[in-house]
Structure 1
Amino acid sequence: MSYEPPLPPANLPTEVVNTLNESTPEHLRDVATYAEELAEHKEREARLEEEADQDEAEKRPDDLPDAVPSKATITVKEINDNRYYYWQWREGDKVKSKYKAPVSPDE
């Protein structure tokens, strides 16, 4: 082990380096343990979020327009004796709809 102090990573903020340089060995060990656990936690959260995004993409119907959330359901509306499919979903207290296609006569 060298008698020279270690060089901090270049991307570490100066305030953090100064605080660490002023810390006791016991506090530095506590910081190291906490930093490792925090890094693992953040990596796990990012991985779970990525998996959720992938699941969302896999569940998304192929014919779902980009402006329509994947939680939308298809509903049939009758207008002037004609039937139409609409994507429908809730945003807060409002129900939103987007036209999909006419209902074919054999349905």
Structure 2
Amino acid sequence: MTHEPPIPPANLPTEVVNTLNEATAERLREIATYAEALAEHKEREAPVKKAADQDEVEERPDDLPADVPAKATITIKEINDNRYYYWQWRDGEKVKSKYKAPVNPDD
């Protein structure tokens, strides 16, 4: 059995490593018990949070094409004195559009 201290995970913050290194064996066991209970709690809560996040997703309109994201809105563009509906959405820094239909003046 080696007398070398264990190597902490590389992604563990230095201040956490320093705090743990300064703690007594009894305190480390208390921390381990708490950390394990907290990890179990977060694992149980994760599916609940994920389900809540999915509930917030808006439903897709029936006439929305498959290649147009649900966040798209309808805008009207005028071209040569004719008006047309377009789906429009932001994709990164760009605004993208896709033709929908002509605007019916009787609407």
Judge same fold: TM > 0.5, yes or no.
yes
Task: Give how far 1:57 is off.
Answer: 4.1
Aligned partner letter, 1:34: A
Are residue 61 (structure 1) and residue 61 (structure 2) matched? yes
Match of 1:40 in 2: 41
Q: Among all aligned residue pairs of Structure 1 and Structure 2, give the percentage whose two residues are the same amino acid.
A: 49
Taking the aligned partners of 1:73 and 1:41, their CA distance within structure 2 comes to: 36
> 5+ residue gaps in structure 2?
1-24
Matched, 1:101 2:101: yes
Which residues of structure 1 form unaligned runs of 5+?
1-23
Give secondary structure in 2 for the equivalent of 1:65.
coil
Amino acid at match of 1:40: H
Question: Normalization by structure 1: what TM-score?
Answer: 0.58
TM-score (normalised: structure 2): 0.58
Classify 1:40/1:64 alpha carbon distance in 2 versus 1 (closer, same or farther; 3 Å): farther
Calculate the aligned-residue CA RMSD, in Å: 2.5
Figure out how many residues of one structure are paired with residues of the other and give that number. Answer: 83
